[in-house]
Structure 1
Amino acid sequence: MNIKVILSTLFLGIALSGAVHAQVKTLLFEDELCSYKGFYDSKKYTERQLKDTYTLVTSYGYVGDEGTLAEMTARYTAEIDRLKKLQIANSSYFKNLQQDVLNYVQQTFALKKVQKQAKQNPQALTTAVKKGGAAYTYGIALQNGGTELLESYKTLTLQQMKNNAAPDHLWDQYTTTIARADKLEKAFAYVLVYGWWNSANREVHHIEYDGTQSEQYRKLFTKIETIDCDEP
């Protein structure tokens, strides 16, 4: 009787050991320097979750704004849809990161649409940003145009000269522009990008990529082996 109990216990232990061993799977991933093999518990995460989480970690939310409004909209829409469909590891950190990246892309998209349509709908230059802020002030100048826009252009140039390695070049560019027949059009384009957009972009919550994301990702694995690294 005792022998049967011992044997049953032994077989059970072997079976459990095999089951635990079967949970361990591997995933290959890489960063800018090395490639790795990560070992993970397949009962905690699926391969899809780990791959999608890595996509999130290495996604900085950048979407090109070149081309027409329709072309830009298509790119942003695709990126937003992609982010929403990512199957993230069941972790509060990564769930929050996914939402933060999504918010960043959506907020940036909203401002980029305003920038693209600034000529057709200049009123949005003030309604889309914080009232009283720098972007709002630039928006007013862009809406009013004329002397106010040119004065805003001059003020912006003087501010940029303070932190520029070639301030004389900026001033020469300014004086050349205001001597042109199409100075208002050129001033509008300059203030829109370097004044309004730069200021509006500062109102968007940016994610600090300081290595924390990669560090948290590595914690999803029980063990990580370095396969190969590029020479420094």
Structure 2
Amino acid sequence: MRCFEKSIIFDKHEIHMKVFLIGIVSFLSLFCSAQNDIYEWGEGLTSYKGRFDTAKYSYGQLDSIHRYLFNWPSDISGTCSIWKIEQMDSVSTEKIDAFYTDRMNLYDNISVPSTEFWDSLIIYRKKELSDIYIASREYLIGFVNPSSLLNLDYLDCRKYSIAMNGGEEELLAGWDDLIDEMKKKNGYPEQLEARYQKKLESPFKLKYARLELMKYGWWNCRNQYIYYHEDYYRIEEEFEKLFISVERFDEE
């Protein structure tokens, strides 16, 4: 009878221990899951779902990296695009000045994981933004004051600057030379020539000449002097290292 009583007592101890262990496991599971969160993003036709430790990084940090550091600040293009001759009479640097101030302020205050890679990437993006801003501002001012382009130190771009600062004959000759250059690199030179001839017959031919010399001549030449930080695959690799696990979904 006593042996039976001891067995019952022992079984009760086992039950209490099992309940205790189950409680501990459940608590740890809930605690760990409370420390994890999901961040989703997409690149092209591929979407990603990453699980990260909130004790190490915040959702906001990951979102800031993906939105502002993954690529060059292409949204600056919307502040300085001149595609039509109608836009040439209302060119202003107001939008690009505001964009530059806001984005540089964002880079100065952005919160990222404290590592050499992410700290360096911010420096590269700031250099890139400054270069794009300076060049884009020169471009916009060039529409209003073409003589300002003559003071810049880009010798291989001067032929476009000189043409835009000459008389009607020099302007049209420079435009004609530009079209010849473009036809050599164009897969449909006949169509390019046809569009050129149509604009040449327009009463606004001088505006077309100035627009295309600025856009396809001077800007394309000036663009080669802009610093673009091209390290996409390394950035993608370092970003994925911030996650516990990443699921990838490819659209077919």
- TM-score normalised over the length of structure 2: 0.70
- Looking at structure 2, the residues matched to 150 and 124 of structure 1 have their Cα atoms a distance apart, in angstroms, of 20
Matches within 5 A, 1:53-202: 53-62=65-74, 63=76, 64=78, 65-66=80-81, 68-128=92-152, 130-133=153-156, 135-202=157-224
Distance apart, 1:206 and its partner CA: 1.5
Pick from 50, 66, 87: which aligns with 2:62? 50
Larger relative helix fraction = 2
Match of 1:35 in 2: 48
Identify the range of structure 1 (67-76 vs 212-221) with the bigger mean alpha-carbon deviation.
Answer: 67-76
Identify the range of structure 1 (201-210 vs 186-195) with the bigger mean alpha-carbon deviation.
Answer: 201-210
Contact 1:161 1:167 in 2 (8 A): yes
Distance apart, 1:112 and its partner CA: 1.8
Q: Considering only aligned residues, what root-mean-square deviation do their CA atoms show, in Å?
A: 2.9
Cα separation, partners in 2 of 1:53 and 1:208, compared to 1, 3 Å: same
- Looking at structure 1, the residues matched to 140 and 102 of structure 2 have their Cα atoms a distance apart, in angstroms, of 18
Give the gaps of 5 or more residues in structure 1: 1-13
Cα separation, partners in 2 of 1:123 and 1:91, compared to 1, 3 Å: farther
Distance apart, 1:161 and its partner CA: 0.6
Identity %: 21
Match of 1:3 in 2: none
Cα separation, partners in 2 of 1:189 and 1:231, compared to 1, 3 Å: closer
- Looking at structure 1, the residues matched to 66 and 208 of structure 2 have their Cα atoms a distance apart, in angstroms, of 43
Give the gaps of 5 or more residues in structure 2: 1-23, 82-90
Could you report, residue by residue, the CA deviation over 1:163-183 in whole angstroms, capped at 9, with x for unpaired residues? 212111222222333344432
Identify the range of structure 1 (176-185 vs 78-87) with the bigger mean alpha-carbon deviation.
Answer: 176-185
Cα separation, partners in 2 of 1:168 and 1:195, compared to 1, 3 Å: same
Match of 2:249 in 1: 229
- Looking at structure 2, the residues matched to 119 and 160 of structure 1 have their Cα atoms a distance apart, in angstroms, of 21
- Paired residue type of 1:203: Y
Could you report, residue by residue, the CA deviation over 1:101-132 in whole angstroms, capped at 9, with x for unpaired residues? 2222222122222222224322332334x331
Contact 2:70 2:232 in 1 (8 A): no
- Looking at structure 2, the residues matched to 186 and 177 of structure 1 have their Cα atoms a distance apart, in angstroms, of 7
Number of paired residues?
210
- TM-score normalised over the length of structure 1: 0.75
Query: Which has the greater radius of gyration?
Result: 2
Cα separation, partners in 2 of 1:111 and 1:145, compared to 1, 3 Å: farther
